[in-house]
Structure 1
Amino acid sequence: MTVATLPPSPGVIVGRNVDTVVGVVDTLISSPVCALLMAANAFMRGALTSPWMGAYTALFAARAGSQWLQRRSRAARGPVDWAKQVILVTGGSHGIGLSLVLKLAKTEARVAVVSLAPMPEPVPSNVTQYLCDLSDPQALEQAVDSVERDLGSVTMLVNNAGTVCPLLVSEQSAADIERVARVNFVAPMLLTRRVLPGMLRPECPRAHIVFVASVLAYIGVPQLATYTASKAGVALFQESLSLELRHRLGAGDRVRTTAVFPSKVASGMFSGLDLPQWLSPELEPEHVADAIFCALRDAQDGEINLPLFATVAPLYMFLPRAGRRLVHWVGNSLDSMRGFRGHAKPEAL
């Protein structure tokens, strides 16, 4: 009788996952404050010349060098000429979108607001509204056609509009799921596909695409399954688009992309959401709009995490199940939606 032998266990496979580990560590510890604390601790312990301290120093130096190169690249591009910019903002009738539009209106840019609800009066003279149901692809295409006919080719796109269905998955209708997916995820992809060819033209002064995601792109919450899934999709779409622009199209310096990951915003969208303020402080829409405006002004690509705790939110998915349960217990997120009220507006920001 022949006894089958099993192949030896491969053990822990690192391989290409090493870059992921390095990226996580880099995000956590590569900051001037951490560098100072680490150096002071190593000095007091007599470990300044240890291999561990050397590895950290190299990591910090690489991060600092990368940031210096980015700043130099932005400086070489010079200040943005707002008079040459046509900026399309979705969901600009309230919340983050409205705050951003009012900031952009103070420049010489031509601003198009594409949303289902009209902006409050008075509307600035350089802002044009286009009422559109973002869940309707045909209406979305017609809205962009109107923007380009009236204002010219879009040079900056801010995918800001969003909506939520605060029900358990078993209680949602097919229409509920489809609307959340179309507004939060499909519309940004369709708009990006529509305006990107014009941004890639040599005559385009400088182009930028912003995606307003959410810290919940990384963390699941009961009654927000469709919302969190759609925001996670937006985050991955921005990442893939950035890689395409830089490595396949050679346009990474001409067309920048930015993903914004805010926590709860005081726009009314999540009224009644019960999360501890110390863990998830409520942000004012103006605060998030300021960050987006600065990203457009300074050609800042990559990610914007608001507030500070959002920087470590991606680590949630690295935790074992027991660790994720602990996070939910500490944050009271399993019951946070029981008192949800939201607002009556069909689009939330």
Structure 2
Amino acid sequence: MSTTEQRVAIVTGGARGIGAATAVRLAEEGRAVAVLDLDESACKDTVEKITAAGGKALAVGCDVSDPEQVEAAVARVAEELGAPTILVNNAGVLRDNLLFKMSDSDWDTVMNVHLKGAFLMTRACQKHMVDAQFGRVVNLSSSSALGNRGQVNYSAAKAGLQGFTKTLAKELGKFGVTANSVAPGFIVTEMTASTAARVGMDFEEFQAAAATQIPVQRVGRPEDIANAIAFFTGDAAGFVSGQVMYVAGGPLN
């Protein structure tokens, strides 16, 4: 990496999928990585993969929708790894259903994890970034932000994260902090597997069908998203802020 100090990154939802791939990728960039997830023990595999490769990582259990847990988690990271100046807001859940079947709880759970979680984590970390006069915030949006049947809650949350990102860029830019958003298309994860199950399709068939609609003729992998996040979190991306990058194998309209 281009700096003499080791930057500290926090990746929420880091136990599996895109979060785990991102944590590993940032460790490869020379970052010390705090791997956050609801269940701290679930972060073990990600942390071990990083440390086995010679990196530095810490597992932290945290409900990102809980203000007290967020403050405690960020304080722990600062104490054990150093002040976090890179934040990847990746934690997410699905509660898919058609509007007329969707419960209040389905709506609130998705909003609390995606939007409130990103807000709480960013608020807790920004003080460290401002003090360092350096910061990188990357929020995980989705191609579903453009609208997706059965995901009115998820689509609204992911669209909201794009507005959140652009506002952060305007508020924090003068402190050397950038904010960007990565919006994945079809990525092979447990979440897309659950979507396949919801619509009653075999996951392999679901992937094959999706690939036919993607210009590059394949579905995405978590590493595809991790590579985009690594760019946004790097020193070389200091003049890129407030942007939304769709990583979907082609244009979506």
Q: TM-score, normalised by structure 2?
A: 0.81
CA-CA distance at 1:144 after TM superposition: 1.3
Code of the residue aligned with 2:183 in structure 1: it is: F
Code of the residue aligned with 2:223 in structure 1: it is: E
Give matches, 1:18-97, under 5 Å: 80-81=2-3, 83-97=5-19
Other-structure match for 1:49 = none
Structure 2 stretches lacking a partner, 5+ long: 200-205
Structure 1 stretches lacking a partner, 5+ long: 1-78, 314-349
Q: How has the CA–CA distance of structure 1 residues 107 and 222 changed in structure 2, closer, same or farther, with 3 Å as cutoff? A: closer
Other-structure match for 1:119 = 43
Q: Deviation per CA, 1:45-90, whole angstroms, max 9, x where unpaired?
A: xxxxxxxxxxxxxxxxxxxxxxxxxxxxxxxxxx632743110100
Structure 1 residue 296 corresponds to structure 2 residue 233: yes
Other-structure match for 2:165 = 238
CA-CA distance at 1:169 after TM superposition: 2.8
Q: How has the CA–CA distance of structure 1 residues 221 and 103 changed in structure 2, closer, same or farther, with 3 Å as cutoff? A: closer
> What is the rounded CA distance, in whole Å, between the counterparts of 2:65 and 2:225 in structure 1?
24
> What is the rounded CA distance, in whole Å, between the counterparts of 1:84 and 1:214 in structure 2?
30
Greater C-alpha radius of gyration: 1
> What is the rounded CA distance, in whole Å, between the counterparts of 1:135 and 1:91 in structure 2?
12
> What is the rounded CA distance, in whole Å, between the counterparts of 1:193 and 1:82 in structure 2?
26
Other-structure match for 1:224 = 151
Other-structure match for 1:269 = 191
Give matches, 1:268-347, under 5 Å: 268-271=190-193, 272=196, 276-280=210-214, 281-297=218-234, 298-299=236-237, 300-301=240-241, 302-310=243-251, 313=253
Other-structure match for 1:213 = 141
Q: How has the CA–CA distance of structure 1 residues 284 and 308 changed in structure 2, closer, same or farther, with 3 Å as cutoff? A: closer
Code of the residue aligned with 1:210 in structure 2: it is: V
- Count of equivalent residues: 226
Comparing both structures, which one devotes a greater share of its residues to strand? 2
Other-structure match for 2:75 = 145
Q: How has the CA–CA distance of structure 1 residues 158 and 80 changed in structure 2, closer, same or farther, with 3 Å as cutoff? A: farther
CA-CA distance at 1:292 after TM superposition: 1.0
Give matches, 1:88-107, under 5 Å: 88-107=10-29
Sequence identity of aligned pairs in percent? 28
Q: TM-score, normalised by structure 1?
A: 0.60
Q: 2:66 aligns with which of 132, 136, 152?
A: 136
Q: Is the 8 A contact 1:208 1:255 kept in 2?
A: yes
CA-atom RMSD in angstroms: 2.1
Other-structure match for 2:124 = 194
> What is the rounded CA distance, in whole Å, between the counterparts of 2:134 and 2:4 in structure 1?
10
Secondary structure at 1:261 match in 2: strand
Q: Deviation per CA, 1:210-254, whole angstroms, max 9, x where unpaired?
A: 011001112x222101000000000011011112234xxx23xx1
Code of the residue aligned with 1:305 in structure 2: it is: Y
Code of the residue aligned with 1:215 in structure 2: it is: S
Moved more, 173-182 or 277-286: 277-286
CA-CA distance at 1:308 after TM superposition: 4.8
Q: How has the CA–CA distance of structure 1 residues 82 and 140 changed in structure 2, closer, same or farther, with 3 Å as cutoff? A: farther
> What is the rounded CA distance, in whole Å, between the counterparts of 1:174 and 1:137 in structure 2?
21
Give matches, 1:168-187, under 5 Å: 168-187=98-117
Code of the residue aligned with 2:150 in structure 1: it is: Q
Secondary structure at 1:270 match in 2: helix
> What is the rounded CA distance, in whole Å, between the counterparts of 1:228 and 1:198 in structure 2?
31
